[in-house]
Structure 1
Amino acid sequence: MRSIPASALAVAMTATAAIALAGGASAVRAQDSSRAVAGGGISVAGWAGKVDANEAKAGQTVNNAKLVQEGDALHATTGPAIAYWNPGNTASGDYTVKATFREPQYMGLNNHPHPYGVFIGGSDMGTDTQSYAYCAAYGNGNFIMRGFGPEPFRLNGPRGEANAAIHKAAAKGDPVTQEIAITVKGDQVTCAVNGTVVGTYAKADLVGAGKLKSTDGVYGIRMGHNTEAIVTGFGMTPAAAGGGAKVKKD
Structure 2
Amino acid sequence: MRTIAIGDIHGGLKALIQLLNKLEVKDEDHLIFMGDYVDGWSESAQVIAFLLDLSEKINCVFIRGNHDVWCEEWLKTGEVNKTWYQHGGKETMASYHNISDEEKQQHITFFENLKMYHIDAENRLFLHAGFTSMHGVEKEVHLPTLYYDRTLWEMALAMDNNLDTESYFYPNRLKHYHEVYIGHTPTTNFDCDIPMNAVNIWNVDTGAAFRGKISGMDINTKTFLQSDAVYTLYPNEKGRNKD
* TM-score bracket for this pair, using the shorter chain length: under 0.3
Flag the structure with larger Rg.
Answer: 1
User: Comparing both structures, which one devotes a greater share of its residues to strand?
Assistant: 1
User: Comparing both structures, which one devotes a greater share of its residues to helix?
Assistant: 2
